[in-house]
Chains A and B, each alone.
Chain A
């Protein structure tokens, strides 16, 4: 069928496309396109009615221009006209245009739906298919509303042509995916399931996609499909390669249908009926057997199709996870593929084996391939294949091979692609921890990790090693010795300095007996790295130094000397300076007893899930780390910290301070917040209140300051600081509304007339998801009739580190004083979080600026001279009296700032009209600064007394 341009070739289109292709530059192309657009526009607008052919040609040109990446804002109507043409190609182009350039223009949708309706009822199969394709391509809710009732009827009707049935099945699937509530299968269910028995292979192929999706959502209603699918599969698998005629693809009978059947079966557990199950197992065995037969063709299509079925069968075997015999055979088959010359097969085998590794029946079988996988990691040329090999090594790791696998991964890290290093580091860290029998190996591994790939070692990793060392006293001495040695290297990674500083600060005494690592040697070693480090590391080192003073009184004078030096005590970084000042003071005035109490060894950390695992999970997305693995991680973590639990008694204080950080992962050591000593028991800290007056820079969230028991399901009362937060936004529309350790709320808003739209951005600052996240916006009491606030629903789940957005529409009905309340509830690690804030919607947001001349201003000023129309406040400046800042704030207020109006150039005057639905309230403002007295006099006059008063209150807080 050499069928190009069968009489419908559009010469004008071909010429245009050639022209575009001949354009030498982007500019030339744009010029040519603009010329064409002008031409088409004039044709469409012209008096002469266009014939169908011309319309088709121009619509097609527009489509071409759109697909080149240019905007098209006309031609929709002409395309809709084409839909009702009775010439096939015209109709077809019309539908294509609509499918590609969907427009939510409701008028148009109605017309389109009309045309579709006509074609659906035309009983012309070709037209019906076109209409169905269009519905499937657009898939909008409007279309679902119009056609979701009709399509199932077409699908199951006895007289529908096969090709129409196929289109109808997939069209319905598309609508079901976008609007499941509108597609009601009810009465059709059984007839749809029986399409699996249809004589026409094409109908079955199309229908099975629909049935699979419906089964996933309603497994019970569709469970009869299991036995039908098994018998259909069995017939295909046992057929000779030529039986299915055109449905045989490169000697493989019906590969698409076979794969879809195997996929459908994965929606269900193994069949309960013995006969059905027997038949299925037979099919699976046949598929595995066929893999061993010599290929019937050398073409890659043949092997692709055959292996597609094989991999799908293996997926089903893994899904059932109940047939040890099949599992082991699957594993052996994949083992063969691991060494196949086709890269694609090696990739898929590695991927598939990852899931097999988690099955108890095949875990051992997978392990036998370790050498091949390690080899793949070393020799594969394609990074995505190496990545899969690393994943598989991780999945097959257990106590018996952990040391080998970790060593291989470490050595691979030295040459690994940058793109996968961070993930590799996390994996090594997790494995080392999970399978550590002897903790010196664990410490060695992590330090190696830092040495080899220090840049990719995230905070979580080095926090964790410190946690573990602190919790296990049998490894502390070794850890101190090892970090001491590691720090000897002339160039060592900053993360190494952090770990070294922390560990020597805690456990340096354990190696101080050796003259080669005497206290002073240790200190000098640490301090030699100090100047090369960033501020946070320096801060950590300073804390290590003060710990040294406690551990080794003989270092006191040396360290005090360092603290006293200008580069510390006058450091431009406020955190470093503060630490230097406070530590110096602490070391000189506190008695040794006090010092010993404050600087006591860190108590064990409470048992918690490894934060590294959480990080990996986040990195790979949900599902990448199996639940099984997570639980195991938790269990192993528990074992690890077991010692901590027993010793928990003497650390109740630290446990309490940890309770205020409900995060299982964030801020492990409390290092990220205030100085390290603030984590010391508060009872001891209170002795030193004077010394530490400012030290406990406690940025614990507002949330956590409330004891968990006090949190009820009712909306919490607004935070005490919410008025302050509100004031922050009087003169601006965007910024961070609220922030604590868990959550950050950003705000963006825009106002026009009496309407406003606000975007709230809820950011999860932790690495753990927030669940049942709900927000409610309410207008308490008197506010209710004045303000209409509508909040769009927000996603109930916020992944760790993710942000969700909520849109709030606001309508101002009358003037108001209060602010709407925003209540936020969510669960974080099981604990309910509940907080209320005031939404920064204030009356001035609805200002329209009004420009006026001096004369007009004072005339109006006088008109508003009744005493209740005026509100005045005299107040002290709370910020520097900078003219530019004041101007910016007044502009932010929303009024027009009038220049050359007030006779005194120091004064500011503004005018504006507040737009509410009920009325407009004109307002004038005058602000008189007195620089000498650092005072302001603020006067507001408006036609409504409550407005003057409220504006005056709001503004008095701003300057």
Chain B
């Protein structure tokens, strides 16, 4: 299971943090600090995986944003790259040509979309159409009621 997902910029600014286990604020801050430092200092074209404490770290850069998550030992690294990619696709589908600013100004949407895709660190729905459908349904619910 995925333990956490972090999105941060090339300057090390955190854009999204999702924790799938209970951690103290102190531990969270430490993880964020350690990982942004570690990942940002890696050379380009380096391997997307690295061992860290008892976790496997999988990260990938999309434009100016790094998507970085911590996995347990029996998780599949390559599949996790696909999870990150699918998440980016979902964001892209929702925002249309998503960029970092979309996530800054609509951070709550980024969280909602993630919730439709991953729950408790496990993938719940892999179909792009299905996720899009639930989001659309919810949004239409909103419009009707307003």
Contacts and interface: CB of A to CB of B under 8 A. Distances in A.
A293 interface: no
Contact of B49 (A6, A257, A347): A347
A256 interface: yes
Nearest to B139: A6
Nearest to B22: A139
A868 interface: no
Given A305-B82, A347-B47, A202 B125 contact: yes
Interface in A150-188: 163, 166-167, 169-171, 173-174, 177-178
Interface string B75-112: 01111011101100000011110000010111111011
Contact of A308 (B20, B43, B79): B79
Given A129-B134, A139-B22, A384-B51, A201 B139 contact: no
Contacts of B76: 259, 263, 308, 311-312
A63 interface: yes
Contacts of A254: 126
A395 interface: no
A907 interface: no
B104 A21 contact: yes
Nearest to A102: B22
B142 A6 contact: yes
B63 interface: no
B27 interface: no
B130 to A, nearest CB: 6
A173 B120 contact: yes
Interface residues of B, number: 64
Contacts of A623: 73
A167 B47 contact: no
Contacts, number: 187
A455 to B, nearest CB: 23
A246 B129 contact: yes
Contacts of A1: 93-94, 96, 132, 136
A249 B126 contact: yes
Interface string A36-51: 0000000000000000
B145 A87 contact: yes
A266 B76 CA distance: 13
Given A1-B136, A385-B47, A173 B122 contact: yes
A710 interface: no
Interface in B111-136: 111-112, 115, 119-120, 122-130, 132, 134-136
Given A88-B142, A249-B86, A263-B74, A206 B137 contact: no
Contacts of A257: 126
B106 A4 contact: yes
Given A88-B141, A311-B78, A348-B49, A4 B95 contact: yes
Q: Which of B49, B54, B124, B126 has the most CB of A within 10 A?
A: B124
Contact of B126 (A17, A86, A205): A205
A37 B61 CA distance: 34
A644 interface: no
A64 B102 contact: no
Contacts of B77: 308, 344, 348
B142 A8 contact: yes
A863 to B, nearest CB: 51
Contact of A246 (B22, B78, B130): B130
Q: Which of A136, A254, A255, A385 has the most CB of B within 10 A?
A: A136
25 contacts: A6-B143, A7-B142, A67-B17, A88-B141, A92-B138, A96-B111, A163-B130, A166-B125, A170-B119, A170-B122, A171-B120, A178-B22, A206-B122, A246-B130, A249-B82, A249-B86, A304-B81, A305-B82, A344-B48, A344-B81, A346-B47, A347-B47, A384-B46, A621-B54, A623-B73
Interface of A: 1-8, 14, 17, 21, 60, 63-64, 67, 69, 86-89, 92-93, 96, 126, 129, 132-133, 136-137, 139-140, 163, 166-167, 169-171, 173-174, 177-178, 201-202, 205-206, 209, 246-247, 249, 254-257, 259, 263, 266, 301, 304-305, 307-308, 311-312, 343-344, 346-348, 381-382, 384-385, 387, 621, 623
Q: What are the nearest 9 A-B pairs in CB distance?
A: A174-B120, A308-B78, A170-B119, A308-B79, A246-B127, A209-B122, A2-B96, A343-B47, A382-B46
